[in-house]
């Protein structure tokens, strides 16, 4: 029986290039300043819609920080104590950010429902002016990431998030205009409820995905059945078992698998090269570890109960 071959390869992580450090810094600074302005005026004119949008824009800051942090964490080299580095910190941060934001929006929605029964007057022009600044800030931030949105998942997420938030600020402007036009005092809590719903819908996906990844779930962009089919289709591969795919962080995916060779004398290097290339091209999986086995060894591996082979 031929000996099993174990190959482990680590490649570059999918993170924002250094040229986007300035874009992240400017975007975070702009949005933090706007959050402070919007929260102050929301409190001053008693506008829940402005306060809701301030909460939304604070989540944008957190999202930008997470994206930037993920890019920087990908550059931290693994060591003897942390052999994968610190990439999982980005998943933890995303989870806790989503959890806190869901709680905040629940509290805001409760307050908004209470105000529907006793609507209070607000200042329409102030709401329009402040939310108008929000449109400008979110649009400007989105433009900072426009050129990199097709080549990097982190940058693309930042771009889409900021572009969507420009539309949310537009909704607040519309609410202020309706208040000035019709004098509907109830429009402010209604708009704040609508914004809270938008935030919860967006945040729920982040919460669900981050929780899934925390428990080593297969990333949503990876079809495990398709990965297995790809490995089975490699020349000289008779079977695949002990296949695992998980997220090392929010931007890097790892894979381990046992490949059973029909011919133990096959060219292992050529097979490894093709497997890594195909997994990278089709699934953006860069951290690949494959064990090549003879049919006899594979049979023993499968029968070894509790040994982690399946």
SS3 210: helix
DSSP character for 147? G
Task: Give the whole-angstrom CA distance, residue 184 versus residue 182.
Answer: 5
Residue 130 — pLDDT band, cuts 50, 70, 90?
confident
| Residue of 271, 272, 215 lying closest to 247 (CA atoms) | 215
Q: How confident is the model over 157-165, as a mean pLDDT?
A: 73
Q: For residue 175, what are the domain limits?
A: 18-214
- Say yes or no to pLDDT of 1 above 50: no
Question: Do 23 and 166 fall into the same domain?
Answer: yes
The CATH code of the domain that includes 275 is: 3.30.70.1350
Q: How confident is the model over 269-275, as a mean pLDDT?
A: 93
Question: Do 53 and 69 fall into the same domain?
Answer: yes
Question: 202-207 — which CB contacts under 8 Å span 24+ positions?
Answer: 202/164, 203/59, 203/98, 203/101, 203/102, 203/105, 204/98, 204/102, 206/94, 206/97, 206/98, 207/95, 207/98, 207/99, 207/102
Contacts of 54 (CB under 8 A, 6+ apart): 35, 38, 39, 42
Count of other CB atoms within 10 angstroms of residue 229: 11
How does the average pLDDT of the chain come out, rounded? Answer: 79
Structure confidence at residue 278 (pLDDT): 95
Residue 152 — pLDDT band, cuts 50, 70, 90?
low
Using a pLDDT cut of 90, give the percent of the chain over it: 21
- Which range (57-61, 69-73, 239-243, 250-254) has the least confidence? 69-73
Using a pLDDT cut of 70, give the percent of the chain over it: 84
Question: Do 255 and 196 fall into the same domain?
Answer: no
12 part of a folded domain: no
Strands (E), the chain: 5-9, 237-247, 253-261, 287-293
More confident residue, 67 or 218: 218
More confident residue, 310 or 92: 92
The model's pLDDT over 192-239, given as tens digits with 9 standing for 90+, comes to 788 778 778 877 877 888 899 889 999 988 999 999 999 999 999 999
The model's pLDDT over 279-292, given as tens digits with 9 standing for 90+, comes to 999 998 989 999 99
**Domain final residue, candidates 214, 229, 246:** 214
- Say yes or no to pLDDT of 149 above 60: no
Question: Do 210 and 253 fall into the same domain?
Answer: no
6 part of a folded domain: no
Q: How confident is the model over 43-71, as a mean pLDDT?
A: 78
Task: Give the whole-angstrom CA distance, residue 105 versus residue 306.
Answer: 45
**Domain final residue, candidates 214, 237, 272:** 214
The model's pLDDT over 172-199, given as tens digits with 9 standing for 90+, comes to 787 778 878 877 777 777 877 887 787 7
Question: Do 241 and 203 fall into the same domain?
Answer: no
Question: Do 54 and 132 fall into the same domain?
Answer: yes
- Say yes or no to pLDDT of 77 above 50: yes
| Cα angle for residues 221, 16, 85 (degrees, 5° grid) | 80
Structure confidence at residue 275 (pLDDT): 95
């Amino acid at each position: 029986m031929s000996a099993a071959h174990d190959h482990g390869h680590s490649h570059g992580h999918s993170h924002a290039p250094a040229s986007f450090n300035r874009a992240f810094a400017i975007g975070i600074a702009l949005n933090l300043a706007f959050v402070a302005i919007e929260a102050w005026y929301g409190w001053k004119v008693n506008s829940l819609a402005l306060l809701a949008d301030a909460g939304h824009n604070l989540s944008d800051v957190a999202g930008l920080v997470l994206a930037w942090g993920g890019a920087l964490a990908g550059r931290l080299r693994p060591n003897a104590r942390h052999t994968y580095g610190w990439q999982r910190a980005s998943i933890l941060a995303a989870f806790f950010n989503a959890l806190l934001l869901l709680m905040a929006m629940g509290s805001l929605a409760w307050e908004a429902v209470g105000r529907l029964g006793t609507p209070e007057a607000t200042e329409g022009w102030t709401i329009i002016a402040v939310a108008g600044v929000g449109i400008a800030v979110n649009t400007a931030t989105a433009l900072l990431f426009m050129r990199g949105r097709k080549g990097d998942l982190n940058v693309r997420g930042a771009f889409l998030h900021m572009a969507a938030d420009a539309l949310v600020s537009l909704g607040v402007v519309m609410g202020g205009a309706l208040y000035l036009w019709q004098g509907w005092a109830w429009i402010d809590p209604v708009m704040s409820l609508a914004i809270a719903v938008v935030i919860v819908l967006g945040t729920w996906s982040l919460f669900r995905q981050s929780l899934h990844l925390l428990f080593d779930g297969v990333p949503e962009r990876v079809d495990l059945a398709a990965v297995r089919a790809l490995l089975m289709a490699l020349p000289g591969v008779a079977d695949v078992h002990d296949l695992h795919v998980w997220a090392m962080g929010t931007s890097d995916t790892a894979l381990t698998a046992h490949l059973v060779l029909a011919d133990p004398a096959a060219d292992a290097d050529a097979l490894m090269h093709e497997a890594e290339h195909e997994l990278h091209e089709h699934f953006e999986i860069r951290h690949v570890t494959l064990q090549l086995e003879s049919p006899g060894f594979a049979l023993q591996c499968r029968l070894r109960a509790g040994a982690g082979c399946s």
